[in-house]
Amino acid sequence: SMMPAHASDLATMRHELFEERRAIESISHRERIRILQEAEDCIQAATNFREYRACERQESKARKALRARLQPRLRAFRAKMRTYRILHREAGRHPSSLPDER
């Protein structure tokens, strides 16, 4: 079995996980705002249904591309999170190694 992780290692890991999740979410927000703004400009410039539908298609494509771009990073994050939870659980069997979660 693994040696229990030390509190400082778990605390560092937890902080890095938080920073990574926050960074991913921030990119997602900024990009979705940009996509919405471009869609709004496109819709405002549209003069008929055909042009309007083209705007909607473009917006849908942009959202899909964003999801695809963030997917690998999210997958990696989730894998690290699973590892953290396992280590945290292991450390729980050795309470002296648990981080202080204040």
Residue 99: Cβ within 10 Å count: 18
63-67, long-range: CB < 8 A, 24+ apart = 63/32, 63/35, 66/28, 66/31, 66/32, 66/35
Which parts of the chain register pLDDT below 50? Answer: 1, 101-102
Give the per-residue pLDDT at 6. Answer: 83
Predicted TM-score (pTM) of the model is 0.79
